[in-house]
């Protein structure tokens, strides 16, 4: 296995003032070699781009342990990950019937809003922000409403870092005979996902998450039969976000319908090569778990209080309560850490003041150690008590 921690592509090769460590859910700290791969031009209509797109699509199916031969397709879509979520929702929902969304955070609510604004009749199945989705309740809703054709769920709700059991929820969806759409935006590549075992019909993720590329496109893995059904039925509610038409473009000429993110694709191909060289999903999961464990241990030592119980946490991103100590001010806290080359993320929990720390990207336990040293310094300078917090009851219907 390559010595990733000491090779010349590690982010430590840059001074902190110019290339900070990004402890966020994306954009992420990326390797130098990914950055270097993007400093080239490539024509939008040229054969090298078509070959590049073909390689990327094939590699993403390989990560999902499936293939074109198994009836699956990979469709790339320009824009942020949310663009790909929207393209899947508005393109793969029949013109009649209802779309159910399992929601326990802001990203579930974003999927609800996407459906609503597209004129899709949506049924939110809400849980508290610190509560994992319960298959029994999902099945109860499905059995009481035969008009629901699809169920969407967020695998890792990056609002809090909560991980939903997409296998257990998938069993309920399969039992009810409905389609299953999984938003694996921040988990794909860091958790093994068996599409057939969980009964998925659609999976969505993005270039700038656990594959460690940069922002610019997302991707949708979908059953070919579903794409074909959507095309025949004219399901798409957006011209630019028409997933079926994008797929047809790849199948017939290997091209994006509109301007492709060429440099981003070049960087992503390099990120894929590094992903496989590291050892694929298993190795990346192990590294992120190491980051997560080091973070939890260090934050507990400093006195910070996590929002979720340990058993509900992902190893993607972790949410902590902001101290209620009057000496604590988040903007000052954030800026002092940023001045030390450490970038964290603000909170997104309804009714609670929190902040988030990501474990993904080109980060290793030694980077977590550096963050913890910076946190210790900032706590000392600001003089607040990390463990002084005001807990709140997580929201459900107020989302």
Report the percent of the chain where pLDDT is more than 70.
93
| 35 to 32, 58, 185, 227, 374: CA distances (angstroms) | 5, 22, 22, 34, 26
Q: Average pLDDT for residues 32-48, to the nearest whole number?
A: 92
> What value, to the nearest 5°, has the Cα angle with vertex 166 and ends 164 and 170?
140
Residue 393's pLDDT band, with cuts at 50, 70 and 90, is low
Q: Which of 151, 93, 153 is nearest to 117 (CA)?
A: 93
Q: Which two tokens stand for residue 345?
A: 């993320």
Mean pLDDT, the chain, whole residue set: 93
pLDDT in tens, 350-389: 888 999 999 999 999 999 999 999 999 999 999 999 999 8
99 contacts 122 by C-beta, under 8 angstroms: yes
pLDDT in tens, 308-329: 999 999 999 999 999 999 999 9
pLDDT in tens, 227-272: 999 999 999 999 999 999 999 999 998 889 999 999 999 999 999 9
Q: Which of 339, 360, 341, 388 is nearest to 292 (CA)?
A: 360
pLDDT of residue 46: 85
**Domains by residue range for the chain, with CATH:** 11-32+280-382 (3.90.1150.10), 33-275 (3.40.640.10)
pLDDT of residue 348: 85
Q: With residue 278 as reference, give the H or E element that holds it.
A: helix 262-278
342 contacts 374 by C-beta, under 8 angstroms: yes
- What is the rounded distance in angstroms from the CA atom of residue 334 to the CA atom of residue 340? 10
366 contacts 295 by C-beta, under 8 angstroms: no
pLDDT of residue 254: 85
Q: Average pLDDT for residues 88-114, to the nearest whole number?
A: 97
- pTM (predicted TM-score): 0.93
pLDDT surpasses 50 at 398: no
Q: Average pLDDT for residues 47-72, to the nearest whole number?
A: 96
pLDDT surpasses 70 at 123: yes
Q: Average pLDDT for residues 97-119, to the nearest whole number?
A: 97
pLDDT in tens, 149-160: 999 999 999 999
């Amino acid at each position: 296995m390559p010595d990733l921690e000491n090779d010349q592509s590690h982010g430590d090769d840059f001074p902190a003032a110019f290339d900070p460590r990004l402890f966020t859910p994306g954009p992420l700290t990326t390797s130098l070699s990914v950055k270097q791969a993007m400093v080239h031009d490539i024509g939008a209509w040229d054969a090298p781009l078509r070959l590049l797109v073909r390689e990327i699509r094939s590699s993403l199916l390989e990560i999902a342990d499936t293939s074109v031969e198994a009836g699956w397709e990979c469709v790339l879509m320009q824009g942020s990950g949310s663009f790909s979520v929207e393209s899947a929702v508005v393109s793969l929902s029949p013109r009649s019937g209802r779309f159910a969304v399992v929601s326990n955070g802001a990203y579930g609510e974003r999927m609800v809003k996407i459906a609503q604004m597209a004129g899709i009749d949506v049924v939110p199945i809400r849980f508290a922000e610190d509560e994992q989705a319960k298959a029994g309740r999902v099945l109860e809703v499905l059995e009481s409403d035969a008009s629901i054709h699809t169920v969407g769920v967020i695998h890792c709700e990056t609002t809090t870092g909560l991980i939903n059991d997409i296998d257990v929820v998938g069993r309920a969806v399969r039992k009810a005979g409905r389609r299953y759409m999984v938003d694996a935006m921040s988990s794909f590549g860091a958790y093994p996902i068996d599409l057939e075992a969980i009964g998925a019909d659609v999976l969505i993720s993005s270039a700038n998450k656990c594959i460690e590329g940069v922002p610019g496109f997302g991707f949708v893995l979908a059953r070919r039969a579903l794409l074909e059904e959507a095309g025949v039925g004219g399901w798409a509610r957006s011209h630019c976000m028409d997933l079926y038409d994008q797929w047809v473009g790849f199948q017939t000429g290997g091209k994006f319908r509109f301007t492709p993110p060429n440099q981003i694709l070049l960087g992503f191909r390099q990120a894929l090569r590094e992903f496989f060289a590291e050892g694929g999903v298993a190795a990346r999961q192990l590294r992120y778990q190491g980051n997560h464990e080091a973070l939890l241990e260090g934050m507990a030592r400093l006195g910070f209080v996590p929002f979720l119980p340990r058993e509900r946490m992902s190893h993607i991103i972790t949410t902590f309560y902001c101290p209620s100590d009057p000496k604590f001010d988040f903007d000052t806290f954030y800026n002092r850490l940023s001045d030390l080359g450490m970038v964290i993320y603000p909170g997104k929990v309804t009714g609670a003041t929190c902040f988030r720390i990501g474990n993904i990207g080109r980060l290793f336990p030694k980077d977590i150690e550096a963050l913890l040293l910076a946190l210790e310094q900032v706590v000392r300078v600001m003089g607040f008590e990390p463990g002084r917090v005001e807990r709140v009851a997580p929201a459900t219907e107020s989302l």
